[in-house]
């Protein structure tokens, strides 16, 4: 199981009477965010929650949530990555990176991914003039999303610290903001 949304281009839904609110995450959102992450990647929700709590305290990181009727239905983040002189030459460049966009299955195709991406790009634009992300090539939905936001391919030959990337499965993307 890939954990990615089924790729169904052109399919969208309207949220009937649901107000989708995108905002910075708060401590009270972290359990729901951790559960979303674990639902896709596995692992320990407690460990994920601890990392998210640390992210909330780091000015070089941003955690955003989408909320419907006080329920967290999606999560996305931004991190700052800085290359080290000891890193291999194929290490992704220094900069801000979109990470971890996860929408609860019952809330997919309502435009929540776009809303979270807009919010994360807004936050980053206050700090930088470019933004990166890396995407699994098997995830057609997220590739389409980033194309809508004018991300362009940088390379497929890269590494990223602590990311278990299989060679040839991911693409590094960049957008000017």
**Confidence band, pLDDT 50/70/90 cuts, at residue 163:** confident
CATH number at residue 143: 3.40.630.30
**Confidence band, pLDDT 50/70/90 cuts, at residue 5:** low
Confidence check: pLDDT of 32 > 90: yes
**Confidence band, pLDDT 50/70/90 cuts, at residue 14:** low
How many angstroms separate the CA atoms of 37 and 45, rounded? 8
Confidence check: pLDDT of 11 > 60: no
- Looking at the domain assignment, is residue 64 inside a domain? yes
Q: Which domain holds residue 71?
A: 20-176
Identify whether the C-beta of residue 36 lies closer than 8 Å to the C-beta of residue 48.
no
- Looking at the domain assignment, is residue 78 inside a domain? yes
Q: Could you tell me the pTM of the whole model?
A: 0.89
How many angstroms separate the CA atoms of 115 and 117, rounded? 5
- Looking at the domain assignment, is residue 5 inside a domain? no
Exposed/middle/buried for residue 80 (C-beta within 10 Å: 0-12, 13-18, 19+): middle
What pLDDT, on a 0 to 100 scale, did the predictor assign at position 168?
A: 86
Q: What sign does the dihedral 139-94-77-16 (CA atoms) show?
A: negative
pLDDT in tens, 37-49: 999 889 999 999 9
Confidence check: pLDDT of 165 > 90: no
What pLDDT, on a 0 to 100 scale, did the predictor assign at position 1?
A: 36
pLDDT in tens, 119-157: 999 999 999 999 999 999 999 999 999 999 999 999 999
- Looking at the domain assignment, is residue 1 inside a domain? no
- Looking at the domain assignment, is residue 61 inside a domain? yes
- Looking at the domain assignment, is residue 9 inside a domain? no
pLDDT in tens, 73-120: 999 999 999 999 999 999 999 999 999 999 999 999 899 999 999 999
* Structural domains counted in the chain: 1
What pLDDT, on a 0 to 100 scale, did the predictor assign at position 68?
A: 96
- Looking at the domain assignment, is residue 10 inside a domain? no
- Looking at the domain assignment, is residue 34 inside a domain? yes
């Amino acid at each position: 199981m890939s954990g990615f949304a089924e790729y169904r281009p052109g399919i969208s839904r309207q949220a009937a009477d649901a107000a989708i609110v995108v905002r910075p995450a708060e401590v009270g959102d972290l359990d729901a965010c951790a559960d979303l992450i674990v639902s896709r990647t596995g692992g320990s929700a407690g460990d994920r929650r601890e990392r998210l709590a640390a992210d909330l305290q780091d000015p070089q990181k941003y955690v955003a949530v989408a909320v419907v009727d006080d329920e967290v239905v999606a999560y996305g983040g931004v991190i700052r990555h800085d290359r080290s002189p000891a890193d291999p030459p194929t290490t992704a460049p220094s900069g801000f990176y979109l990470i971890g966009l996860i929408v609860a299955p019952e809330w997919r195709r309502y435009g929540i991914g776009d809303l979270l991406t807009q919010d994360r790009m807004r936050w980053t634009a206050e700090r930088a003039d470019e933004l990166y992300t890396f995407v699994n090539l098997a995830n057609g939905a997220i590739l389409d999303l980033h194309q809508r936001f004018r991300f362009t391919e940088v390379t497929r030959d890269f590494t990223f610290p602590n990311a278990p990337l299989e060679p040839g499965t991911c693409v590094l993307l960049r957008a000017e903001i």
